[in-house]
């Protein structure tokens, strides 16, 4: 078997001994060193050595390896190659202090990874609310550690509010405010959100946009009285989703059994069984 192929297999094998990986880390072929840099079985000292490698792709792999020490990651955070810094920003083992520094990086993709990292401090996440990149601010919405008050701030961001409207941990009061958005997509997300209050769903049941009313009709949190209203909606799909909704009262289903649309009648009959 070709020596290079053998080395590649050894370097990628999670069962290869740390001492053997240390030997392979000195291979002349950068690809072998790069594979070692990905191996979580590599010694901290081996990864520290590879962090100084002349090939940036090797350093990039070290930066993404969760076995790399926070000290080495802190060093790589100042690497001249932004792709290396991006991997540091993604690594869960990167310290909050280092992530705070990377939150100021010139490259938006680096800051984006900081905003997504669950090791990022709340204070740093709050700082990124004012980032110039929409992608960075949106990443905050999906980070489970982003504080609620920060999410509330983002609800006022016209570029991000649609994403905020879809987050279940956002408060009902904030969702009620978002229900007034001129953007149909925002209102639809509010209607689909499990945290949306009954009063807000009641309001959205009268929305001028049919997609919003359809979303209300699908929500299991929609009050029975509102479902009764939606059962008379001019849009057949709204009535269909109302018939499919497990919260729809029997009396409303009996009404829908006589609907003008056959697929609505069929859904109502099935729901009654």
Q: 3-state secondary structure string, the chain?
A: CCHHHHHHHHHHCCCCCHHHHHHHCCCCCHHHHHHHHHCCCCCHHHHHHHCCCCCHHHHHHHHHCCCCCHHHHHHHCCCCCHHHHHHHHHCCCCCHHHHHHHCCCCCHHHHHHHHHCCCCCHHHHHHHHHCCCHHHHHHHHHCCCCCHHHHHHHCCCCCCHHHHCCCCCCCHHHHHHHCCCCCHHHHHHHHHCCCCCHHHHHHHCCCCCHHHHHHHHHCCCCCHHHHHHHCCCCCHHHHHHHHHCCCCCHHHHHHHCCCCCHHHHHHHHHHHC
- Of the pLDDT bands very low, low, confident and very high (cuts 50, 70, 90), residue 14 is confident
Average pLDDT of the residues in 133-159:
96
Rounded mean pLDDT of 176-183?
A: 97
CA–CA gap between residue 25 and residue 31 (Å, rounded): 10
Q: pTM to 2 decimals?
A: 0.88
Average pLDDT over residues 93-109: 98
The C-alpha atoms of residue 3 and residue 9 are separated, in whole angstroms, by 10
In a domain, 258, yes or no: yes
Instruction: Look at residue 244 and tell me if it is in a domain.
Output: yes
Domain extent for 165: 157-273
Task: Assess if residue 184 is contained within a domain.
Answer: yes
Structure tokens that stand for 264 in this block: 């609505």
The answer to whether residue 4 scores a pLDDT higher than 80 is no
Flag whether 259 is in a domain: yes
pLDDT of 257-266, one tens digit each?
Answer: 999 999 999 9
Q: Which of 102, 56, 93, 96 is nearest to 72 (CA)?
A: 93
Give the Cα separation of 177 and 182 in Å (integer): 11
Assess if residue 61 is contained within a domain: no
- Please say if the pLDDT value at position 1 is more than 60: no
Q: What local confidence, expressed as pLDDT, does residue 12 receive?
A: 85
Rounded CA separation 47/117 (Å): 22
Residue 187 included in any domain: yes
Radius of gyration of the chain (CA): 27
Residue 121 in any domain: the answer is no
Mean of the per-residue pLDDT values of the chain: 95
Here the CATH number for the domain that contains residue 203 is 1.25.10.10
Give how many domains the chain has, as a whole number: 1
Rounded CA separation 98/79 (Å): 13
pLDDT digits 0-9 by tens, 68-77: 999 999 999 9
- The alpha carbon dihedral of 268, 269, 272, 273 has a sign of negative
Does residue 234 form part of some domain?
A: yes
- State the helix-helix crossing angle for 82-90 and 56-64, rounded to 10 degrees: 10
Q: pLDDT tier at 6 (50, 70, 90 boundaries)?
A: confident
Q: Is 195 exposed, middle or buried (0-12, 13-18, 19+ CB in 10 A)?
A: middle
């Amino acid at each position: 078997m070709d020596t290079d192929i053998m080395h590649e297999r050894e370097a990628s094998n999670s069962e290869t001994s740390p001492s053997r990986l240390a030997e392979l880390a000195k291979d002349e072929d950068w690809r072998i060193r790069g594979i070692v840099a990905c191996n979580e079985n590599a010694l901290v000292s081996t990864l520290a050595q590879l962090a100084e490698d002349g090939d940036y792709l090797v350093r990039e792999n070290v930066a993404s390896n969760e076995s790399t020490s926070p000290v080495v990651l802190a060093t790589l955070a100042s690497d001249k190659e932004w792709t290396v810094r991006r991997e540091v920003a993604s690594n869960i083992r990167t310290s909050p202090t280092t992530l705070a520094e990377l939150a100021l990086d010139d490259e938006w993709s680096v800051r984006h990874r900081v905003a997504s990292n669950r090791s990022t401090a709340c204070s740093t996440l709050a700082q990124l609310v004012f980032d110039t990149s929409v992608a960075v601010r949106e990443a905050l919405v999906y980070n489970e550690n982003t504080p609620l008050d920060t999410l509330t701030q983002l609800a006022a961001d016209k570029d991000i509010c649609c994403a905020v409207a879809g987050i279940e941990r956002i408060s009902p009061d904030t969702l009620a405010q978002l229900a007034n958005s001129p953007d149909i997509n925002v209102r639809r997300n509010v209607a689909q959100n499990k945290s949306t209050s009954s009063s807000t769903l009641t309001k959205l049941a009268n929305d001028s946009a049919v997609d919003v009313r359809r979303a209300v009709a699908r929500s299991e949190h929609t009050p029975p009285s509102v479902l009764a209203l939606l059962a008379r909606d001019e849009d057949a799909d709204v009535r269909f989703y109302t018939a499919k909704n497990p919260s729809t009262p029997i009396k409303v289903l009996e009404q829908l059994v006589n609907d003008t649309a056959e697929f609505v009648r069929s859904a109502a009959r099935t729901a009654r069984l």
